[in-house]
């Protein structure tokens, strides 16, 4: 038996159109999963990459600006075995200048939507007496404070706690809930940091690996957590950070 094979499984990945979500969707397809690429924009590039590999994928419209939408999405889908809660957003401003709208915009997508999407996944799994795997995308800022990202930091601390809570409740019912905590990754969310020569240098000087991560660097951990190889893992939060937290 190939402990890392996802043959015969169906995965739903939120925010699968770019960045980390795209890389995870492609990697799950490479491992044999049928991938439902969920997001508010058409994941044309992701679908093309998966099709080029001979994998199976399709788009699922999902706008998590409505945090409850993820909980409803499973009602119209075939059985889903793997959920990757990847969709997220970030706003940068000094904490003293942050508005309620700034706060809610990030918390709603990053934390509230993640919870209700996981809830919808679990309800559907329990209704058919099945288990599955949930992989939440946390962050280094699940462990640290950061600067100028108050709602993002709060949301990612929340994802870490939620991962542990759901693992405690659902492990005995056959659902593995774990999280990946990416380090600094080349994505749309980090373009401002990479464009700032002072911040970019400070970040690179702290990373033992000496470089920013590419989205593909994160994807292997997701395949592992989705696979039978991680069957006894519950509530883990795995940093994939080039050694940042070890420094």
Strand partners, 237: 179
> If you count them, how many residues does the chain have?
247
Catalytic annotation, pick one of 74, 116, 121, 152: 152
Angstrom distance (rounded) from CA 221 to CA 218: 6
Angstrom distance (rounded) from CA 137 to CA 152: 12
Q: What is the largest CA-CA distance in the chain?
A: 55
Active site residue 232: no
Helices (H), 149-214: 150-170, 191-195, 197-206
Paired tokens of 54: 């001979």
On whether the CB atoms of residues 70 and 120 are closer than 8 A, the answer is: yes
On whether the CB atoms of residues 181 and 139 are closer than 8 A, the answer is: yes
Paired tokens of 149: 């990202």
Residues marked as catalytic: 152
């Amino acid at each position: 038996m190939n402990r890392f094979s996802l043959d015969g499984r169906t995965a739903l990945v939120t925010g699968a159109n770019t960045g980390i979500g795209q890389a995870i969707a492609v990697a799950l397809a490479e491992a044999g999963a049928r991938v439902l690429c969920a997001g508010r924009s058409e994941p044309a590039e992701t679908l093309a990459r998966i099709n080029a590999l001979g994998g199976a994928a399709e788009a699922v419209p999902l706008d998590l600006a409505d945090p409850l939408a993820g909980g409803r999405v499973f009602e119209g889908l075939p059985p889903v075995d793997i959920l990757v809660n990847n969709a997220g957003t970030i706003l940068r401003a000094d904490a003293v200048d942050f508005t309620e709208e700034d706060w809610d915009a990030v918390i709603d997508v990053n934390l509230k939507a993640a919870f209700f999407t996981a809830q919808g996944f679990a309800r559907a799994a329990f209704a058919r007496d099945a288990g599955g795997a949930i992989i939440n995308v946390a962050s280094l800022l699940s462990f640290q404070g950061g600067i100028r990202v108050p709602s993002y930091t709060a949301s990612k601390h929340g994802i870490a706690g939620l991962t542990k809570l759901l693992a405690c409740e659902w492990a005995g019912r056959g659902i593995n809930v774990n999280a990946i905590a990416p380090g600094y990754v080349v994505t749309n969310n980090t373009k401002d940091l990479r464009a700032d020569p002072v911040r970019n240098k400070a970040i690179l000087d702290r990373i033992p690996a000496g470089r920013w991560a590419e989205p593909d660097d994160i994807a292997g951990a997701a395949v592992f957590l989705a696979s039978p190889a991680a069957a006894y893992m519950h509530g883990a939060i795995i940093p994939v950070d080039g050694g940042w937290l070890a420094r």
